[in-house]
Amino acid sequence: MKRFSLVSRVGLLACVVALVVGTIVAAALLAILSLRKSEQSESRAKDVTVATLGVQTLAIEIESSLRGYVISNNHSPRYLTTLHQARGQLPGALSRLDRLVGDDPIQLRRAHDAAGQLQSYLRDYVDNVILIAKISPPDARGAASSDEDKRRTSAIRGTLRSILQTENLRSVRRAVHTRAVSRTAVIIGVVGLAGSAVLVLLFGAWVASGVAAPLRRVAAAATEVTRGDFSVRLDEGGAGEVGTLVSAFNSMARSLEVGRRELLLQNERLRESEQHKRELISMVSHELRTPLSAVLGFTSLLLERDFPPEEQQRYLEIVDTQARRLASLAGDFLDVQLLEGGGFELERAPFDLIELAREQTRLFFSHTELHELVLDLPDEPLIIDGDRDRLAQVVGNLLSNAIKYSPEGGVVRVHVGTQDGRAVFSVSDSGLGIPPEDRDRVFDKFFRGAAKETTVGGTGLGLAVAREIVTTHGGSIAVDSSVGHGSTFTFELPLTLTPAATVSA
Amino acid sequence: MNGNSPDGRPRALIVEDEDTLRELIIVTLGEAFDCQEAIDADTALEMLRAAPPDLMLLDIAMPGRSGIDVLREMRADPELQKVPVCVVSAWQSPRDVAAALEAGADRFLAKPFRVDELASVARSLVERRR
């Protein structure tokens, strides 16, 4: 039943109610027709009875006036007048009866019988008795009281009585049938009306259960949505249009929920990026100030005071290193723009990766006494085709991280080699290490992990830039780390030159 | 009263984690002060308690505890309450400056500082105390 749409529910009910009403009307029509027929046949029966009684009256008048005429001694003409009058009326009365029973063969035959009996009575008996009476009254008296008179008149009466009885019987039967038909019509009407009322009530309940209740649930759920609860869902299903409404509501709530989740996520990302920018600005100003202090301080000391040449040399070296640090910071911020703009322009040329490793380690380990450098490099050059400056930036970043994140000092191991036709470069330290939950994020820009809470400086850009450079070269970069034992950063690059070319280089 | 160094110069304790800046401050003040150095808060407090100096130059952001922690402990210690402190910090928002002065700093120098200003602030702090 649940599958019926509302339109088909209403249509179905309309059909059933129409059928019931049609039946009631048909029954009433039948009853009315039957009543009318019954009325007609009753009035015909009445007419036939009246006509028959008329004939009978005439017959009795003829009989009694004949007897009066015969019995009275003076043969009063008064009796004959009455008899003639009655006789004169008889054909009219008979033909009326004939006409009335014309459609009924049995009654017609009886009417004809009665007419024949009357005619033969008048012709063969009445006329003869009058004739006898005129000639010999006593003989006529004998004849009038004879058996023949009785026989003939009782035969006529019998015929007329049978007409009356038949007509009466038919009238009664018709009345009984009519009563039965109207009783049936009344029963059909009452049962039909009651049935229709029950049907309408049932339909109301059906509509209430199939439409009103689900609509109420949809309205309540819509109110929840208005209040901001997009997680509300309705049970799917329901009759036709209601089911469609429920599933449309659910998909609306779903898409609202998804939309809001996306908005919240986007908002969260925007907030995070805003936070990163604020931290970056603060970090930049702090990161710049330390080397700037050294550069400005030592230059003004060198300008104002006289120092022995070896001290002058040392201070100038400090100024040089710190100025480079500033330049590298400026480079990092330029790289942010490159990262945001997407992609680097590489200036590729063949160069020796081993030589690059030696140069960068020399640069980074000249100022630290806490760290011990272990170089694990092959003897032959390892020529690759790439952007030397950019890759130097990557190596420099890994080396400075290795030093920065092992503040207690320790061994920094640099290994370069080949594996599966690719150049592999790794830098291991024995420093703080990276917690597992942060390992996937160290290459995200501005991510600084636990370093944010310490005074280990940095912008959180170095590794993001390094990854961008390595992947633009067609390589990859990864980290392996253990908290408290140190980290190993490894990047690999495709080897683009053959071993023969390597040897000749 | 804290006892100058044997050659009569006042003693200054330089607390700074950045090697080059520590060296810069020592070179700047070296003629007028007998400089001692500490690279973190704990070493600084240890040295303070061993022999209270005539002046302290204090960085705020350092590995481990911060310069603010050092200031608070000093100001709670009757022996160290009077030691003049000049904070030298790269963090110089009004909030950072207020936090340093509230914790008991006498002066606040922002990085990058001018070396002549550093020298004159150091001198005036020591003289004012005398």
Q: Do A286 and B91 touch (CB under 8 A)?
A: yes
Class of domain A343-504: alpha beta
pLDDT range class, residue A17, cuts 50, 70, 90: confident
Q: Hey, are the CB atoms on B23 and A322 less than 8 Å from each other?
A: no
Q: How many CB pairs under 8 A join A and B?
A: 59
Residue A66: what pLDDT?
A: 84
pLDDT recorded at residue A457: 59
Give pLDDT tens digits for A165-207.
Answer: 988 888 788 788 878 878 888 888 888 888 888 888 888 887 7
CA–CA distances in Å: residue A285 to residues A367, A409, A457, A476, B114: 24, 27, 11, 32, 17
The mean per-residue pLDDT over the stretch A238-264 comes to 88
Helices B115-129 and B19-29 pack at an angle, to 10 degrees, of 60
- Nearest-10 Cα torsion for A158, A163, A168, A174: 150
Average pLDDT over residues B99-105: 92
Strands of A152-196 (E only): list them: none
pLDDT in tens, A72-91: 766 677 888 888 888 899 89
Q: Does the pLDDT value for residue A459 go beyond 70?
A: no
Measured between beta carbons, the chain B residues lying within 8 angstroms of A315 are 27
A441 falls in which pLDDT band (50, 70, 90)?
A: confident
Give me the residue spans of the domains in chain A: 16-188, 343-504
CB-based contact, A405 to chain B, within 8 Å? no
A486 phi, psi to nearest 5 deg: 115, 175
Residue A500 pLDDT: 41
Residue A503: what pLDDT?
Answer: 40
Q: What is the pLDDT of residue A460?
A: 72
Residue A462 has pLDDT above 90, yes or no: no
Dist. CA B67–CA A245, nearest whole Å: 67
Query: Of A286, A301, A455, which has the smallest distance from its Cβ to B115's Cβ?
Result: A301
Handedness of CA A186, A191, A192, A194 (dihedral sign): positive
The rounded mean pLDDT for chain B is: 89
Q: Among A279, A289, A302, pick the best mutation site for testing chain B contact (most B Cβ within 10 A).
A: A289
pLDDT digits (tens, 9 = 90+) for A53-67: 998 899 888 888 888
Using DSSP's 3-state secondary structure scheme, residue A415 falls into: strand
Higher pLDDT, B92 or A446: B92
In this complex, is the C-beta atom of A281 within 8 Å of any C-beta atom belonging to chain B? no
In A, minimum Cα distance to B93 occurs at A282
**Interface contact flag, A407 B63, Cβ < 8 Å:** yes
Is the model's pLDDT at A357 over the cut of 50?
yes
Does residue B90 sit in helix, strand or coil?
coil
Residues 6+ apart with CB under 8 A from B77: B49
A286 in contact with B, Cβ within 8 Å: yes
**Cα(A181)–Cα(A127) distance, integer angstroms:** 53
pLDDT number for residue A327: 87
Per-residue confidence (pLDDT) for residue A214, from 0 to 100: 82
Contacts of B110 in chain A (CB under 8 A): 289
User: What integer pLDDT is reported at residue A454 of this predicted model?
Assistant: 56
A318 and B91 in contact by Cβ < 8 A? no
Tokens of A69: 């005429």
B78 lies within 8 A of chain A by CB: no
Angstrom distances, CA of residue B102 to CA of A321, B72, B96: 36, 9, 10
pLDDT grade, residue A36 (50/70/90)?
A: confident
Whether residue A368 lies within 8 A of chain B, CB to CB, comes out as no
Cα of B7 to nearest chain A Cα, Å: 22
CA distance B124 to chain A (A): 20
Chain A contact set for B91 (CB, 8 A):
286
| Per-residue pLDDT at A285 exceeds 80 | no
- How confident is residue B72, by pLDDT bands cut at 50, 70 and 90? very high
Q: What is the pLDDT of residues A92-124, one digit of tens each?
A: 988 988 888 888 888 889 889 989 988 888 888
Q: B51: distance to nearest CA of chain A, Å?
A: 27
Report whether pLDDT(A505) > 50.
no
Q: Which residues of B touch A293 (CB under 8 A)?
A: 21, 24, 90, 111-113
Chain A residue closest to B63 (CA)? A455
Considering chain B, what percentage of its residues have pLDDT values greater than 90? 68
> Are the CB atoms for A467 and A360 separated by under 8 Å?
no
Of the pLDDT bands very low, low, confident and very high (cuts 50, 70, 90), residue A216 is confident
In this structure, of A7-16, B59-68, B101-110, the range with the lowest mean pLDDT score is A7-16
Q: Which residues on B lie below 8 Å from A289 (Cβ)? A: 90, 110-112
Rounded to whole angstroms, the Cα distance separating A66 from A129 reads 8
Residues in chain B with CB shorter than 8 Å from the CB of A285 are 90
Q: Partners of A478 in the beta sheet?
A: A490
**Considering the domain A16-188 in this protein, what is its CATH number?**
1.20.120.1730
Please judge whether B111 and A289 are an interchain contact, meaning their C-beta atoms are less than 8 angstroms apart. Answer: yes
Provide CB contacts within 8 A for A196, sequence distance 6+: A17, A20, A21
Of the candidates B52, B54, B75, the one whose C-alpha atom is nearest the C-alpha of residue B10 is B54
Tokens of B124: 């005036």
pLDDT value of residue A192: 82
Determine the pLDDT at residue A502: 42
A313 lies within 8 A of chain B by CB: no
What integer best gives the mean pLDDT of chain A? Answer: 84
Reading phi first (left if > 0) and then psi (alpha if -120 to 50, else beta), residue A446 is in left
- Helix (H), strand (E) at residue A239: none
Q: What's the average model confidence in pLDDT over A38-45?
A: 81
Min distance B19 CA to chain A CA atoms (Å): 10
pLDDT at residue A264, as a whole number:
93
Instruction: Answer yes or no: is pLDDT of A156 > 60.
Output: yes
> Predicted confidence band at A498 (pLDDT cuts at 50, 70, 90)?
very low
The residues in A 106-145 lying below 8 A from B, measured between CB atoms, are none
Distance CA A200, CA A207 (A): 10
B62 and A CB contact within 8 Å: yes
Chain A residues in contact with B111 (beta carbon < 8 A)? 289-290, 292-293
pLDDT at A39 over 60: yes
Establish if A259 touches chain B: CB-CB under 8 angstroms: no
Identify the pLDDT of residue A70: 81
**Of residues B29, B79, B73, the one with CA closest to residue B51:** B79
* B112 touching A (Cβ < 8 Å): yes
Mean pLDDT of A230-249: 84
Residue A425 distance to chain B (closest CA, Å): 30
**A306, two tokens:** 């006289």
| Shortest CA distance from B91: residue in chain A | A286
pTM (predicted TM-score): 0.49
Residue B93: the pLDDT is 83
Chain B closest-CA separation from residue A455 CA (Å): 5
CB neighbour list of residue A331: distance below 8 Å, 6 or more residues apart = A393
Q: Is the pLDDT assigned to residue A3 strictly greater than 60?
A: no
- The pLDDT assigned to B109 comes to 94
Can you tell me the mean pLDDT for A39-51?
Answer: 85
